[in-house]
Amino acid sequence: MASLPKRIIKETERLASDPVPGISAEPHEDNLRYFAVTIEGPEESPYENGVFELELYLPDDYPMEAPKVRFLTRIYHPNIDRLGRICLDVLKNNWSPALQIRTVLLSIQALLASPNPNDPLANDVAEEWIKNEELAISKAKEWTKLYAGKR
Amino acid sequence: MSTYEEEHGLSRENSEDARSASVDRRETRSQFQELFQTFGNNNSEEDVDNSMLLLLLSQMIPASLQQEWMEQMEQSDKKGCSESFIDSLPRIPASKIKEDDSCPICCCTYKEDDHPLVAELPHCNHKFDLECISVWLSKSTSCPLCRDDVMSHKPGIDTSQVELEEDWGMFG
Ligand SMILES: [Zn+2]
Ligand SMILES: [Zn+2]
């Protein structure tokens, strides 16, 4: 395995020494480009009191290419599909090499705080969300209790 | 996406997804065939409105496929700056680089290198290692820090002048 770029080492160190509130990210022992991530559901969102597990992978081209991130914990959210893939511009066309693991995870946390069912690439959850927001929010809360309970 | 999932042994769900996508595709293809036969048989009878055809087509293509196409289009659209543009970026003399200035792309301080080669983007004046920004600008035209489109400011060719010359040519 090629040596790890300095930037990745620095980012990893800072994630540990100066963690983002409500977010943890730890590299795997045997693959330092692969991170086990948890994000706490933001207060006053349907995901409040939930702890969501994600995985993050830094491709060989990182930071020229965005990290690959997805939810492992099931979540009912208009911008996250059933495979846990996240519809977020900074992970796709709006990636910039000046962004970091922490900024990406902060963006995902913000996405939990403000779901956007009007995103043009959203899935069927988004349709349900637009049709009946109240129902969708209660379903999101239910799923949070069901799948994202604190351990 | 696929390489990621392969690397992480997540291929099972993924292949299920791929299978249903290929079924979708097969259905789409047969629907296309039907449509073309229908319109092909009574052609010239009535001019089929193009926009209606497009609407029909877009309704028949599964959303997942549309998304895939859109992403492919966006990817192929993504062209970076020319090598000559990157080479022409102003370079910062070592005397103007501060001790703890660092490159936002590799996160290393410039002075870690005895002979740092730091380039500045025109207009927004953001600075990066030339080596780092070269790689990024070979596939993008936006500044990593402020997303300024570096090519949009290029004086380049004055098109109004070109059109004028063509007009003259017509008279001549
Ligand atoms: Zn650099
Ligand atoms: Zn800039």
Reading chain B (172 residues) residue by residue, the pLDDT tens digits are 444 444 444 444 444 455 555 556 666 666 666 655 555 555 444 555 666 777 777 777 777 777 777 766 665 555 899 999 999 999 999 899 999 999 999 999 999 988 899 999 989 999 999 999 999 999 999 999 999 999 887 555 444 444 444 444 444 3
Q: Is residue A1 part of a domain?
A: no
How many Å apart are CA A3 and CA A76, to the nearest integer? Answer: 38
Q: What one-character DSSP code corresponds to residue A25?
A: E
Domain hosting A111: range is 6-148
Helix axes of B63-77 and B11-41: crossing angle, nearest 10 degrees = 100
* Predicted TM-score of the model (pTM): 0.69
**Is A95 inside any structural domain?**
yes
Residues with Cβ within 8 Å of A6's Cβ and at least 6 positions away in sequence, in order, are B106, B107, B108
Q: In what helix (H) or strand (E) does residue A143 lie, and over which residues does it extend? A: helix A133-147
Cα(A3) to centroid of ligand 2, in Å? 30
Stretches where chain A sits below pLDDT 50 are: none
Residue A138 pLDDT: 97
Enumerate the residues of chain B whose CB falls inside 8 A of the CB of residue A63: 105-106
pLDDT-above-90 percentage for chain A: 87
Give the list of residues 6+ apart from residue B171 with CB closer than 8 angstroms, or none: none
CB pairs under 8 A between A and B: 49
> Does residue A83 fall inside a structural domain?
yes
Contact between B101 and B127 (Cβ < 8 Å)? yes
Give the per-residue pLDDT at B4: 43
Instruction: Give residue B48 CA to ligand 1 midpoint distance, Å.
Output: 56
Burial label, A15 (beta-carbon count in 10 A; 0-12, 13-18, 19+): buried
Domain-embedded: residue A135:
yes
Name the strand (E) or helix (H) holding A37: strand A34-40
Is A36 among the residues known to form the active site?
no
**Which segments of B49-139 are extended strands (E)?**
91-92, 118-120, 127-129
Polymer length in residues for chain A: 151
Domain count, chain A: 1
Cα distances (angstroms) measured from residue A10 to each of A5, A77, B44: 9, 32, 67
C-alpha to C-alpha distance for A49 and A141, rounded to whole angstroms: 9
pLDDT (0 to 100) of residue B129 = 96
CATH code of A66's domain: 3.10.110.10
CA of B135 to the centre of ligand 2 (A): 16
Fold category of B83-153 in CATH: Herpes Virus-1 (3.30.40)
Q: Which residues of B touch A (CB under 8 A)?
A: 1, 3-4, 7-8, 13-14, 17, 63, 67, 70-71, 74, 78, 104-108, 132, 135-136, 139, 142, 144-145, 147
Give the C-alpha separation, A46 to A69, whole Å: 21
